[in-house]
Structure 1
Amino acid sequence: MLLPALAGAQTAVDSQLAEIREQSRFVPDKALAQLLKLQGEAQNESAATRAELINQLSLARMRLGQNEAALPLADELIAFGRQQRSDAIIAKGLLAKAYVLFAMTDVKGAHQFAFESDRLAQTTSDLALRVQAALSAGQAYAEQGNFPPALGKMQGAVELARRLDDLVPLAAALNSQARLYTQMKEYEQGFAALDELIAVAGKLQSPGRLAMAKSTEYGLAIESRQTRRALRALQDGLELERRLGAQRMIAVTLVNLSDSYLKEQDYARTLQYANESLQVSRRSNDSATEATALVNIGQAYLGMGRLADGKRSFEAGLAFYERANSQPDLQAVLIEYGMALERAGDLRGAVAAYHRERAISNQLFERQRQQAVLELQEKYETEKKQRQIELLRRENQVKGAELDNRRLQQRVWWLLALVFALAAVIVGLLYRKVRHANAQLEVKNLELKAQSALDPLTSLYNRRHFQDFMRSQHLPAAHQPELRKAHGDDIVGALFLLDVDHFKHVNDTYGHAAGDAVLRMIAEHLRIALRETDMIVRWGGEEFLAFLPAIPRHGIDEVARRILSSISSQAVLYQGRSISVKVSLGFSPFPLVPGEDGAALPWERAVNLVDMALYLAKAHGRNRAYGVRGFHNFAQTSMEAIEQDLERAWRAGFVDLTVVLGASADGAPGEPAAEQPAPADKVSPAGAPAALRSGAG
């Protein structure tokens, strides 16, 4: 990120610091050596000059991976600012600390200090510092996925930078703005910012700034599917970076080159560039780039059929994201891992990766739900306070009216009766308004209760409501035929759990707004496909759950087929493009009775079995449904063994599975096709599909 310009009159030390400042970004080792030489001279300089020296020492050590030395320097700068009672120096120290914490993978702490620095910096007259702080706060918002405030901060920083004579802050602001537009998939605006950035870098005659622009151009081009332009930008940038000797930038460009060749399935070149990046990033202590290189090496090995090497490299890369606690990045890497294992034929490993990704997705969804509830509560409390203020104001009006009445009584005794009548009318009106306010309060309470049970995007029930509902039910035992028979047919409940196939592809290709439109379409067609008495729940992310309280046992497969057909036959029109999706299903009758003692499984374990059936559907081709019909020879096994590996239990004959295929269920492009039984046929181990008989692992 950009470093602030020095304020006040320029001394010889100030001039040297100004020259070193830009050099530090690209070749921090050389910059650090010059900064150490300046320490003696700076002792007699102004507070602003000494503060800038400490700031640059901290950032140079951070860029060299010496975070343990950089952090105390940032704290020293904050303490120096407080001693000098300078908000500008304190803000600069907070910003330096944010950078070091981010490099140490403390993302939450880095964001906290970035926001605090921005609030303080905007109260100062240092325009360069305000640009830098606003950019850092905008990047923090973007890393949280909160794009509206991020864009506001970036646009404000660009406008501030245009007021400076120095073009370096403007180059930094335009670069950050173009990267944000890339994240937001606003490619046209991103290329407009990039064109201005390249023009500014040309005026600066800075190979480093031009190399940064080429890196940003690569991101824009690869996201907008201009692969040739992306590759050319990487090659041009690498040439500039090698000329500068900017080791960290070289490592990033090399790993991006490996990623480009990985997309073309050129695994030899992928390994070449990824291994080069790995060596450079390790020399420069760049853990994030090292992790990305390890992931690319793992994907290349898996593509070449070297499963053991691929898994080992992938897991080494994943360890960095787990340490960094960067859940969105970890989620994306786990999806790539699962897809790579699936293409390599390791279905068991793919399912395990998908399970890990699903757990993270559920955590993120739960956080979003809690945030929505807190926002509703805050809104309710605000409205309640406003109502209380309004009532107090009216009460004051009544008291004022009563005082006026007393004065009138003293002066005009013959108007006493009329005054009492008027007072009665006023009290009656106020009483009516109080009653109306109480009625509105009751309506608001009911609305809040309803909103806490519904998913705000789809208006379906949410997971918490379903859990509360199931805990409140007293479901009948399975062995009560006089209660479970109607007209000679076995009436049961049923659970259906479905997941959207390739939903990440929809978000990556069309944007998250298109993904939301797909989820709303699925919710609407689930309402059409099911009955009003059936409970439909948004289970989490792109997962939906349906609970049917009463259905003939022989009709469960038909409901699964109807759900598959209803969704796959529809398309969402989004920005002039038609988006079609399919889903995978897991289902079972409910309650499930594994043994002969008549004891049914708790609903939580039944949902867990249905989830395992869903992942079998995912692992064996998608666009299909796997159902758990029942159990056999349960005395020879246990529920724990079945839950540990559903497919193995099925092959051993302990579980009775059924398969319902969706329309044209041959697998998505790039997925291995597997021989499947006829739709809705009972599946037994002897008649298993080829992919199931060979095992997932």
Structure 2
Amino acid sequence: MTALSVPAFVHAEDDPIVRRIDQIQDLSDRNNEEGIRQLLELQKKMPADASVQARLDLVAVLSGLYFDAGRVKEGTALQDEFKRLSKELKDKDALLFLSIIEAFDVYEKSGYDAAYAYLDSLEPSIEKATPSLKFRYASIKSQFYSAQGKFQFALKQYIYMLDLIEKLPRRQLQARMITWERISSMYLGLKDPKKALEATTEALAVSSATAVPKAYVEILIVRGAALSQMKRNVEALKEYETALNIAKQEGLPFAQGAALFNLADQYLILKDYKRAEQCARESMAVYEKLDDKFNVIGAQVNLGLALGYQGKVKQGSDLVMESIEFFKKEKSNSALESINGELAAMYESAGMYKEALVLMREKQTLSEEVYQAEVAKETAKLRESFDTEKREKQIELLAKNNELKDADIRNHRLQQMVTLLASVVAVLAGCFIYMLYRRSKKLNLQLQEVNSQLEFHAVRDPLTGLHNRRSFIALMSTRVVRVEAERREGAYANPDCMILLDIDHFKNINDTWGHAVGDIVLKEVASRLRNVVRDEDMLMRWGGEEFLIFSPKSNPEQITSLVERVLRTIGEAPFMNGEQAITVTVTAGFISVPFSDVPEDVCDWERALQIADMALYLGKTHGRNRAYGLARLLVPHEDAIPTLTHDLAAAIKQNMVEVIEVLGPPQVAN
């Protein structure tokens, strides 16, 4: 179980220092060292009357950045400072967070059961907590469940975390990527690499290495592991190498250690034992520098296996056995099962079949130990009862050996008793096995149910029920084949259309009425949009307060009419919260695909959507409650596209493109 760095707490956005810390934290996702430098500079200039929130946030963010940079001692010192400051300032959110992470200390002292009991005792406080703290609480519970192999419970926590992400005040992308990375890792533990790969695809679809390199690297590593389980070893190797390069460029030592660890593992699979040894030694060196005992031991397993396969069996097996003893103390059965299997394979390759057999038996025992122990316990009780009865009968027969006839009768009865008791043993053992089967089946059904929920999350937005970004990306992945086929058939007369829209002043709605009302507005917008679009149109919640309408094979002349209906449907009638009326309008940008007969290898759907986003922004700068759409190019696309895809306002100013403006319904000033 790894230590948990202190998170930033998000408080009032009207605090300029808090806003500055937020900006630096976003920068640190791309440049960790620059983030540390700017935070230290801000710390020096921190005014004496700085808010409680600003003082806590600065220490929290800086602590996390130190850990990411491998500066563990400085990070730990700031964790202690955060604890001291939280108690001194009596900040309830920070104090509750400290109570949550106390679970790690409870686990270290008393084990998993004590940690679960402790976390359960915090439930009343968590129910009233902020979404950020609820997310952190669920994250820690999921870590414990996953580490102990209780995947069905872990998955429920992940589903809850996905629901909470929409309520987080900021850094939703990072939270989403962390959650999907955890889900991917869990599926790897369940030996379901296909689902693990799907989960990484979900995360990578909404991120980039330049935007969030740390989370991106973690996703690449899990993706590599999934590909490895699917025997796609060359692809796995490339993912790990890409992850290592990004981790080095961005100065992320923990990520470097993880990438090197998995490279060593992959080279073992590819039987390149020299490179496996090199990567294992490098990963051990990284983790030793970070004082990360758990991962040092894990890397030591790979080093031992690499040495063993090169003929240094004694040296290698000693290293692996040392690791096995460590994981036994940690009671990490899933790790032990895997390591026993790997060491057994190494022994087998060295011709040490007896040792290999012993380890394989231990591996089998680990996976079945609970079941076998319970069955053995019940069976032993029955057999003990049977043996006692049998001895009593034998004594009785010996005492009356002169009564041959009666002895024969009693002997016959004894045989019947033996047969009956043996049958009882078999029946009861069978019943017990059946009960265990029923229990296993019930857990599997629970897991299937939660998997169904996860699959819903993978393609649907949980709040509105609309399609999500991943659904659209999956649809677009087949676009090239479909468009080319339609063109060859001469059936592609009308282009597709994309309308990207954003709720105006949505932050003000949340700040004024609360996030619960904000959620009601989002659901009502989704409901109204459903009544506007065609059955064949695809309606998505694109993220936050953004929605996307994809209208395939649409008549260009009718798109303006559709946009007018969208603006009118949302903005004409207020949204009701009880007796209170809330004015809601949207701003939109729209474009056809292909656009103005430009080949899609020049302006594909992603580039077109980028232009629609700039058109939406243009609408916001001109007063909101309106839409801007691109009708056609007025110059050759070779001249227009470079400018159009980076600066729509400049393209309009240079008369490169014809733009349509659609106004929303007039609004009465509040």
Q: TM-score, normalised by structure 1?
A: 0.49
Whole-Å separation in 2 of the counterparts to 1:105 and 1:244: 38
Aligned residue for 2:606?
none
Q: Deviations over 1:632-660 (max 9, x none)?
A: xxxxxxxxxxxxxxxxxxxxxxxxxxxxx
- Aligned partner letter, 2:285: Q
Q: Deviations over 1:170-217 (max 9, x none)?
A: 222232233334334455544443223112223972222321221121
- SS of 1:124's equivalent in the other structure is coil
Q: Given the alignment of the two structures, is residue 193 of structure 1 paired with residue 199 of structure 2, yes or no?
A: yes
Q: Given the alignment of the two structures, is residue 90 of structure 1 paired with residue 95 of structure 2, yes or no?
A: yes
RCO higher in 1 or 2 (8 Å CA, sep ≥ 6)?
2
- RMSD over equivalenced CA pairs, Å: 4.8
Whole-Å separation in 2 of the counterparts to 1:262 and 1:187: 19
Q: Given the alignment of the two structures, is residue 272 of structure 1 paired with residue 188 of structure 2, yes or no?
A: no
- SS of 2:205's equivalent in the other structure is helix
Residue correspondence of structure 1 range 484-503 to structure 2 within 5 A:
none
- Aligned partner letter, 2:99: L
Whole-Å separation in 2 of the counterparts to 1:102 and 1:36: 34
Aligned residue for 2:249?
243
Q: Given the alignment of the two structures, is residue 52 of structure 1 paired with residue 57 of structure 2, yes or no?
A: yes
Aligned residue for 1:162?
166
**Percent of matched pairs sharing the same residue:** 18
Whole-Å separation in 2 of the counterparts to 1:107 and 1:60: 29
Residue from 374, 378, 386 that aligns with 1:462: 378
Q: Deviations over 1:476-504 (max 9, x none)?
A: 999xx999xx9xxxxxx9xxxxxxxxxxx
| 1:26 and 1:245 in contact (8 A); partners too | no
- Aligned partner letter, 2:309: G
Cα distance 1:465–1:313, how it changes in 2: closer, same or farther (>3 A)?
same
Q: Given the alignment of the two structures, is residue 328 of structure 1 paired with residue 337 of structure 2, yes or no?
A: no
Residue from 116, 131, 138 that aligns with 1:134: 138
Cα distance 1:312–1:145, how it changes in 2: closer, same or farther (>3 A)?
closer
| 1:4 and 1:132 in contact (8 A); partners too | no
Aligned residue for 1:259?
265
Whole-Å separation in 2 of the counterparts to 1:321 and 1:466: 35
| 1:335 and 1:354 in contact (8 A); partners too | yes
Q: CA deviation at 1:159?
A: 2.5
Q: Deviations over 1:32-55 (max 9, x none)?
A: 676666555556422223333443
- Aligned partner letter, 1:202: S
Q: CA deviation at 1:150?
A: 2.0
Q: CA deviation at 1:354?
A: 5.5
Residue from 106, 119, 128 that aligns with 1:123: 128
- Aligned partner letter, 2:229: E
Whole-Å separation in 1 of the counterparts to 2:177 and 2:294: 24
Cα distance 1:359–1:190, how it changes in 2: closer, same or farther (>3 A)?
closer
Cα distance 1:354–1:56, how it changes in 2: closer, same or farther (>3 A)?
same
Q: CA deviation at 1:332?
A: 3.0
User: Which segment is superposed worse, 266-275 or 337-346?
Assistant: 337-346
Cα distance 1:65–1:110, how it changes in 2: closer, same or farther (>3 A)?
farther
Q: CA deviation at 1:249?
A: 0.9
What count of residue pairs does the alignment treat as equivalent?
410
Whole-Å separation in 2 of the counterparts to 1:28 and 1:275: 26
Residue correspondence of structure 1 range 212-227 to structure 2 within 5 A:
212-227=218-233
Unaligned runs of 5+ in 1: 370-454, 487-492, 494-526, 543-574, 576-697
Whole-Å separation in 2 of the counterparts to 1:204 and 1:113: 39
- Aligned partner letter, 2:12: G
Whole-Å separation in 2 of the counterparts to 1:25 and 1:290: 26
Unaligned runs of 5+ in 2: 402-407, 409-414, 434-447, 449-670
- Aligned partner letter, 2:378: N
Cα distance 1:49–1:155, how it changes in 2: closer, same or farther (>3 A)?
same
Q: Deviations over 1:211-254 (max 9, x none)?
A: 12211211322233333332221122112111112111111111
Whole-Å separation in 1 of the counterparts to 2:384 and 2:41: 67
Cα distance 1:360–1:79, how it changes in 2: closer, same or farther (>3 A)?
farther
Whole-Å separation in 2 of the counterparts to 1:229 and 1:203: 18
Aligned residue for 1:589?
none
Aligned residue for 2:322?
316
Whole-Å separation in 2 of the counterparts to 1:358 and 1:205: 44
| 1:258 and 1:269 in contact (8 A); partners too | yes
Aligned residue for 1:175?
181
Whole-Å separation in 2 of the counterparts to 1:33 and 1:231: 34
Q: CA deviation at 1:319?
A: 4.2
Q: CA deviation at 1:8?
A: 0.7
| 2:148 and 2:334 in contact (8 A); partners too | no
Cα distance 1:25–1:83, how it changes in 2: closer, same or farther (>3 A)?
same
Q: Deviations over 1:382-432 (max 9, x none)?
A: xxxxxxxxxxxxxxxxxxxxxxxxxxxxxxxxxxxxxxxxxxxxxxxxxxx
Q: Given the alignment of the two structures, is residue 151 of structure 1 paired with residue 163 of structure 2, yes or no?
A: no
Whole-Å separation in 2 of the counterparts to 1:66 and 1:108: 32
- Aligned partner letter, 2:151: F
Residue correspondence of structure 1 range 76-87 to structure 2 within 5 A:
77=82, 81=86, 86-87=91-92
Residue correspondence of structure 1 range 529-544 to structure 2 within 5 A:
532=423, 535=426
Whole-Å separation in 1 of the counterparts to 2:271 and 2:308: 11
| 1:135 and 1:176 in contact (8 A); partners too | no
